[in-house]
Amino acid sequence: MDDTAISRPPRRRRKDARPAEIIDAGLREFAEKGFAGARLEDVARRAGIAKGTIYRYFADKEALFLAAARARVVPVFDDADAFVEAFAGSTRELLRLIVTQIYGRLVETDLRVLIRIVLAEGAIFPSLTEHYHREAIVRGRRLLDRIVARGIARGEVRPGPAADLPIVIVAPAIVASIWKMAFDRLDPIATERFLAAHLDLVCEGLLVHGR
């Protein structure tokens, strides 16, 4: 009784749709298993294709990952840049909205796996690290620098060591992402609680008081 032979759909050429399907399947597997732990056999199954087909579109596993990461990261920063560009309110409100967006688009989504993967596998695959640095870190830091400079110019941000290294401002969100990935199953902490603590710390710690 071979069910596989009966129920298997006939092969179909779907050249235009395939890359995105493979990327999506890849990102899911990378999210669950990490880069090394994700098997291309599983990616292929998820995408409904044969493993060899992956190589028609991506040179190798790393190329698939890079494509998947890029597809996810670029829109996020494009949106954030546009948002900050257009924003006209107080720095407190801007921080609140940006930090909230970080939670909505990083902490609570599978984009957070990039943190895991780069940290975990970056030493073995330096190109992952370089790529992520270029696509996400440089852009993220530039955005934070911009928010801080704007705040200082408006007299709303207190100059000091924290304003000079704004990456510390988003550190709680990074830790929340790590928590969600590694410990939430054992020891749940609601995202809202991280967000509230984060905003509390950063608004009190960075802003000029009373502003």
Residues forming contacts to a copy of itself in the complex (CB under 8 A) are: 32-34, 36-37, 115-124, 129-130, 133, 137, 158, 160-162, 164-165, 167-172, 174-175, 178-179, 181-183, 186-187, 189, 193-194, 196-206, 209
Tokens standing for residue 120: 């975990």
Task: Give how far Cα 12 sits from Cα of 5, 15, 22, 64, Å.
Answer: 16, 9, 15, 22
Q: Which is nearer to DNA, 69 or 143 (CB)?
A: 69
* 3-state SS, residue 158: coil
CA 63 to CA 60: how far, in whole Å? 5
**Selection from 104, 98, 95 nearest residue 206 by Cα:** 95
Question: Of residues 2, 6, 7, 15, which one binds DNA by CB under 7 A?
Answer: 15
Q: Is 14 in the site for DNA (CB under 7 A)?
A: yes
CA 204 to CA 29: how far, in whole Å? 39
Burial zone of 100 (CB within 10 Å; 0-12 exposed, 13-18 middle, 19+ buried): middle
Q: Which is nearer to a copy of itself, 123 or 153 (CB)?
A: 123
Q: Which is nearer to a copy of itself, 14 or 193 (CB)?
A: 193
Q: Which stretch binds DNA (CB under 7 A): 13-21, 105-113, 176-184, 203-211?
A: 13-21
The answer to whether 182 and 119 have CB atoms below 8 angstroms apart is no
Binding mask 148-187 for DNA (x = CB under 7 A): ----------------------------------------
Partner that binds at residue 140, options a copy of itself, DNA, none, CB closer than 5 to 8 Å by kind:
none
Q: Which stretch binds DNA (CB under 7 A): 60-68, 70-78, 148-156, 186-194?
A: 60-68
Q: Is 32 in the site for DNA (CB under 7 A)?
A: no
The answer to whether 96 and 84 have CB atoms below 8 angstroms apart is no
β-bridge partners, 157: 207
Query: Cβ 120 to a copy of itself, closest distance in Å?
Result: 3
Which residue is it, tokens 């709680």?
A: 172
Q: Is 41 in the site for DNA (CB under 7 A)?
A: yes
CA 119 to CA 63: how far, in whole Å? 18
Residues forming the site for DNA (CB under 7 A): 8, 10-15, 18, 38-41, 49-53, 55-56, 60-62
